[in-house]
Amino acid sequence: MGKNTMKTALLFAAMWGLVVAIGALISFGTRSSAPFYLSVVMGLGMNFYTYWNSDKLALRSMNARPVSPEEAPWMYQMVGELAERAGQPMPRLYLSPSMTPNAFATGRNPKNAAVCCTEGIIHLLNEREMRGVLGHELMHVYNRDILTSTLAAGMASVITAVAQIMSFGVMRGDNRQSNPLGLLGSLALIFLAPLAATILQMGISRSRELEADYDGAMLTEDPLALASALRKIEAGVKNNPLQRTPTRSNVAAMMIANPFRGALRSLMSTHPPMDQRIAQLEKLAGY
């Protein structure tokens, strides 16, 4: 709990420091203090906004909608049984129309959490494998590590949106300052801020997936079901990868498996190698 609190505090500090540093650079380039003071206020405002709205940003990026008990009784029964076994509250359930097989958990804490599955994963996995996946996502919630990943994704989404606005301004010719450092500051926001947000996500994601695999397998008492699900998900992503957009890239670190395909997927992966995850689960099962 204390470790996650420290990570969250460092994440907030990094977010605020990044925005302030860029504001200071723009102020230096334009010889005006206004951008610096504006960045101080903007950084604090962005932290406040992402804390309360980061889960909504993640769900919106996947076009997720709430799923009702009448629509998916099996999902409610499965999640309800696992939540009761863990002695924890049941999260809200969402469904994304994406056919890329995946799932993720988001929210500030177990009382304000949501679990989202794509249509692709529901069509791909059998009931036992889905139970393994949902156990994994529930343990992200109950281990209280979704706060940092949710905030990282939310912050990255906000920074990306600001960067796109700045990019539009530069392309429209709004960068005509007497000092070229003003343009440099704008370009730093456009190109470096999203990269910094991605690096922040990479720093908090990999070990948590292994922990959620282990704890989820202990919750379901069926590690081989999750191992089988991970194999199918990896193959499913190769056949039907998620189309990359800035907002989806920000949420990718929260998913049970990297949803993208290509060189960048391996170079900047936010997940441990799938072979390592499966080997851990098979070892847990006594193989």
Is 209 part of any domain? yes
Tokens 């993720």: give the residue. Answer: 104
Residue 173 lies in a domain: yes
pLDDT attached to residue 150? 75
In a domain, 264, yes or no: yes
pLDDT of residue 62: 95
Q: pLDDT (tens digit, 9 = 90+) per residue, 84-118?
A: 999 999 999 999 999 999 999 998 889 999 999 99
216-241: pLDDT as tens digits:
999 999 999 999 999 999 999 999 99
Residue 5 falls within a domain, yes or no? Answer: yes
Contact assessment for residue 37 and residue 24, using Cβ atoms and an 8 Å cutoff: no
The vertex-205 CA angle with 44 and 269, nearest 5°, equals: 115
Please tell me the predicted confidence (pLDDT) of residue 237. Answer: 95
State the pLDDT confidence band at 208, using cuts at 50, 70 and 90: confident
Quote the pLDDT of residue 118: 98
Does residue 96 sit within a domain? no
The answer to the question of residue 186 being in a domain is yes
Q: Residue 93 pairs with which residues in a beta bridge?
A: 115
Q: Tens of pLDDT along 27-43?
A: 777 788 887 888 888 87
pTM for this structure? 0.80
Residue 118 within a domain: no
In sequence order, the 6+-apart residues with CB closer than 8 A to the CB of 95 are: 64, 65, 66, 67, 71, 72, 116, 117, 118, 119, 122
Provide the domain limits for residue 29. Answer: 1-65+143-287
Q: Are 118 and 62 in contact (CB under 8 A)?
A: yes
Task: Convert the pLDDT of each residue in 12-28 to its tens digit.
Answer: 787 777 778 777 877 77
Q: Does residue 244 carry a pLDDT above 70?
A: yes
- Of 190 and 271, more confident: 271
Count of domains observed in the chain: 1
Asked whether the beta carbons of 63 and 97 are under 8 A apart, the reply is: yes
How confident is the model over 148-206, as pLDDT tens digits? 777 777 766 666 666 666 555 554 555 444 455 556 556 666 666 566 555 555 555 57
* Distance in angstroms (rounded) separating the CA atoms of residues 251 and 129: 23
| pLDDT number for residue 234 | 95
For the chain, give percent helix, strand, coil, nearest 5.
70, 5, 20
**So what's the pLDDT on residue 145?**
80
Q: Indicate which residues carry an active-site annotation.
A: 137
pLDDT of residue 176: 46
Cβ atoms of 61 and 248 within 8 Å: the answer is yes
pLDDT in tens, 49-94: 777 887 898 899 999 999 999 999 999 999 999 999 999 999 999 9
Rg (CA), the chain: 20
**Residue 238 included in any domain:** yes
Looking at residue 263, its pLDDT comes to 45
pLDDT of 48: 82
Tokens coding 194: 């999203």
